[in-house]
Amino acid sequence: MKGFALLLVVVTLALGIIFDDDHYRLRQLGQPSDQAVVDHRDSSYTSMTWVGSPSENYLQLRFFDKVEGGLCLRPTWADINRLSEHDPRLNHLRFTTASGALAPAKTWAGEAPDPGTLPNSAYVRFLPVGVLLNESLMSKAGNDQRRVDPHILVIGLGSSAGILVLAHHFPEAAITVVDIDQKVIDIVRDHVPLTNWLTTQKTADGSPRLTLVAKDARQFVRFDALRAARKADLIILDAYTAGSTIPSHLMTREFFAECAAALSPEGMVIGNIIGSYTGEKRRVVGGCLRSLRAAGLAEAYNIPVLGSFYDNAAQVDVDHPRNNIVIAGKQPVDPKRAAAGWARLQQFVPFPEFETDTYLSAQYALVDGKSRPITAMVPSSVIDGADSSVRLSLKSEEPSPGSPAYARIARTDDIQVIAQARRLVADWYRTEHEKMKLVGFPLGWADAPEAKVLWRREIDWVKGAREVWRVTMINARDANTNSGESLVGPLEGPQRDSAMVNWTIADAPLFTDQMPNADIVAH
Amino acid sequence: MRVAILYTTSIICGFCLMALEILASRLVQPVFGSSVDVWAAIISVFILSLSIGYVIGGRLADKTRTNLALGWMILVAGVFFVLMTIYGLRFNEALPEWMQTARYGSLLSSLVLFLPPSLLLGCVSPMLVKLVFVSAERVGRTTGTLYAIGSIGNVFGILVANYVFLPLFPLNPTFIALGAVLMALGLAHVFLPMQTHTTATPAAGATP
């Protein structure tokens, strides 16, 4: 009996040590097969992993293995520095080696990640909305985004991709980020040299360009933000926990009222709210709008982010959950009454200093009849570099009108071409897997059943930022179909003909400290 | 009938205790956030007050021969449930800024808010054992059944609080309703006296 007990202990320990699960998974359908882990850390709030793919041009911070924000690896900060020699518009991102700023923490696959300001995620490109819509700030600066000096409070750091978008377009912005987790701040400082450097820089009036604070946002807004010498012109709500859930105490009428008290008279709150126009997910967006209004931020508007190249400005898929930029303030924010601000939004060009057709990524995958990948993606160089006939036999897809045109997609269903592509992938793996630290044979390429289509996608990341902005703004300007009110039905009075659904804002939940259930309805 | 009443008492007290633990988070989060620190504070305070409650309840059970003290314990626990709607959030918000930290502030807040009611409910189990207790031969079975029933109450308290109370009802009415149930149960015990069985401690000279 004693012997059995001992055996049980030994076997259990052995099983646990041999078969323990990974913190993250890199071998997944539709993901690039050259992904590598740059760093992994755990904190008492989350489990975070920096994952990079040189071929897909990203460095992503994942929480519990879910992507919560990504930066493009190229243009690197060093690229921006070089561009700034000829383009004074980039001077505010220029470093000198004397300052010792460029010191990435770790080497990775032979090079150190040194991302610049270009984001790999769609919604963070829209944070400038909160500055461009601010009439008094913009007119004080002569409508010059290089001179406007907003004080911005960001709740939730993530990968810092959104902060870099703001820092890129508004050199005089003073940004404070409050994040509950010191370890998130540490990992971002270690792997995004540019973000770290911004904390050492000052605006013309002497404010730090970036301040990173580890604190619960509710406490920060209640105490620190109120004490600030100058009230915030913009509060950005972007705090999420695992599973794309907003912490419930940061989504209540009472919290929004505390935000309103910390705002300048023309200031506004913008929130990144994941939700849809129909189904359960509308309760989060609708509830957020209703609770913002109840907190005295009576003017509200919603901009659904059309980030996928399957999105269409003329015809939004209302069932699809997506990022929404919810705007609320005391001054009008809708396209009709805030016409000057919306004109600025229409004219805004994201990353005007970067060239298109320069920072590209291209991947091959085998897909099913509905273009869903049934393999991992393989860097295009693997196939194009070895045998150009594969690429030449692909047929280009016409992008659908009204969609953001930043990707070129081509495909073939020729069995012989597919077989040749599979051979090339096998060759690549055999010769390169050790050098490139590939985590295994590219998923599905050896054995994917019914691989009837070979698919090649090329993304232009600068064009991506501009096209997603352009298409989203065309869609958002149409007040009748895209305002926050139409999302949840008319605010009050008779239903407008153009309202998408007859679910009125009164049907959306009012999130209060008494019933703060944004974390429940999000499921 | 007597045993049924005592088992019902166990299940209701177990239910209210764990419902309070789930609802407690919503009183603490507006001020201290929703980190694991907050949960560590809440859970540790509940377990701590249970262990203190077991000690006090056990001693009290040996001293008394009726269910009167039990009734008062449950009744006062109910009073705390109801009054928490008045002082709960206010107490947290009134803490000075330097104490409003998730790590230590939430521990202090949990101690002040949740220790009294959960301690009182912790006293219930040993007192119920004394009341249900019939003979020394059956003490294992009796306590085992009581613990099982109390734990079933715990489970339902967690599930119902999470899936019914939080999504469907505001916080304060839920606290008040649970408090009312506890107070009614406490009153029932105060008004319906029960004696503990005395066969286990035969009086001197009472040999058959």
| CA–CA distance, A476 with A342 (Å, rounded to integer) | 10
Per-residue pLDDT, A494: 42
Burial environment of residue A153 by CB neighbours within 10 A (0 to 12, 13 to 18, 19 or more): buried
For residues B24-43, average pLDDT:
87
Do A329 and A213 share a structural domain? yes
Whether residue B9 is contained in a domain is answered as: yes
Chain A partners of B33 at a C-beta cutoff of 8 Å? Answer: 180, 216-219, 247, 249
More confident residue, B196 or A77: A77
Whether residue B204 is contained in a domain is answered as: no
A291 in Cβ contact with A510 (< 8 Å): yes
Looking at the partner chain, which of B32, B33, B89 has a beta carbon nearest the beta carbon of A513? B89
Paired tokens of B204: 């001197």
Whether residue A219 is contained in a domain is answered as: yes
Do A277 and A350 share a structural domain? yes
Question: What is the least distance, in Å, from the CA of A161 to any CA of chain B?
Answer: 24
Whether residue B198 is contained in a domain is answered as: no
Do A212 and A172 share a structural domain? yes
Whether residue A29 is contained in a domain is answered as: no
Q: Pick from A133, A74, A129, A122: which is nearest to A467 by CA?
A: A122
Query: Cβ of A218 and B31 within 8 Å?
Result: yes
- Mutate: best of B22, B25, B26, B34, partner A, most A CBs <10 A: B34
Residue A285 neighbours by CB under 8 Å, 6+ apart: A273, A275, A276, A302, A324, A326, A484, A487, A488
Instruction: For A124-137, write each residue's pLDDT tens digit.
Output: 999 999 999 999 99
Whether residue A63 is contained in a domain is answered as: no
Do A315 and A192 share a structural domain? yes
- Beta-strand relationship, A299-304 and A58-63: unpaired
Do A393 and A456 share a structural domain? yes
Whether residue A279 is contained in a domain is answered as: yes
Place of tokens 């504070």: B41
Do A337 and A375 share a structural domain? no
Helix axis angle for B36-63 and B105-132, nearest 10°, is 30
For residues B83-98, average pLDDT:
89
Query: Cβ of A216 and B89 within 8 Å?
Result: no
Number of domain units in chain B:
1
Whether residue B134 is contained in a domain is answered as: yes
- Mutate: best of A245, A513, A519, A520, partner B, most B CBs <10 A: A513
Number of domain units in chain A:
2
Do A207 and A350 share a structural domain? yes
Per-residue pLDDT, A187: 93
B121 in Cβ contact with B77 (< 8 Å): yes
CB count within 10 Å of CB A332 equals 16
Instruction: For B43-72, write each residue's pLDDT tens digit.
Output: 999 999 999 999 999 999 999 889 999 999
Q: Is the pLDDT of residue A47 over 90?
A: no
Residue A265 parent element (H or E): strand A263-275
Instruction: For A10-35, write each residue's pLDDT tens digit.
Output: 998 898 888 877 778 888 899 999 99
Do A434 and A306 share a structural domain? no
Residue A53 parent element (H or E): strand A47-53
Look over chain A and give the mean of its residue pLDDT values, rounded to a whole number.
88
Whether residue B195 is contained in a domain is answered as: no
The top-scoring range by mean pLDDT among A237-251, A378-392, A470-484 is: A378-392
Look over chain B and give the mean of its residue pLDDT values, rounded to a whole number.
89
Instruction: For A467-492, write each residue's pLDDT tens digit.
Output: 999 999 988 887 666 666 666 554 43
Whether residue A477 is contained in a domain is answered as: no
B195 in Cβ contact with B37 (< 8 Å): no
Under the banding of pLDDT at 50, 70 and 90, the label for residue B181 is very high
Instruction: For A312-347, write each residue's pLDDT tens digit.
Output: 887 777 778 889 999 999 999 988 889 999 999 999
Q: Rounded to 5 degrees, what angle do the CA atoms B14, B15, B18 make?
A: 85
Q: Which domain covers residue B122, as residue numbers?
A: 2-29+36-189
Do A294 and A340 share a structural domain? yes
Q: Which domain covers residue A403, as residue numbers?
A: 360-465
Whether residue B207 is contained in a domain is answered as: no
Under the banding of pLDDT at 50, 70 and 90, the label for residue B198 is low
- The structure's pTM equals 0.87
Per-residue pLDDT, A107: 43
Q: Is the pLDDT of residue B201 over 90?
A: no
More confident residue, B1 or B183: B183
Q: Any chain A CB within 8 A of the CB of B100? A: yes
Instruction: For A74-107, write each residue's pLDDT tens digit.
Output: 999 989 999 999 999 999 999 876 555 554 444 4
- Range with the poorest average pLDDT among A177-191, A238-252, B156-170: A238-252
Do A365 and A251 share a structural domain? no
Do A511 and A402 share a structural domain? no
Per-residue pLDDT, B53: 97
Please report, for the domain that includes residue B159, its CATH number: 1.20.1250.20
Q: With a cut of 0.95, is the ipTM above it?
A: no
A300 φψ region: left (φ > 0), alpha (ψ -120 to 50), beta (else): beta
Query: Cβ of A219 and B89 within 8 Å?
Result: no
Please report, for the domain that includes residue A339, its CATH number: 3.40.50.150
Per-residue pLDDT, A484: 64
Do A335 and A392 share a structural domain? no
| CA–CA distance, B41 with A212 (Å, rounded to integer) | 27
More confident residue, B201 or A265: A265
Per-residue pLDDT, B191: 92
Q: Any chain A CB within 8 A of the CB of B102? A: yes
Q: Rounded to 5 degrees, what angle do the CA atoms A446, A447, A449 make?
A: 140
Burial environment of residue A329 by CB neighbours within 10 A (0 to 12, 13 to 18, 19 or more): buried
Q: Is the pLDDT of residue B204 over 50?
A: no
Whether residue B203 is contained in a domain is answered as: no
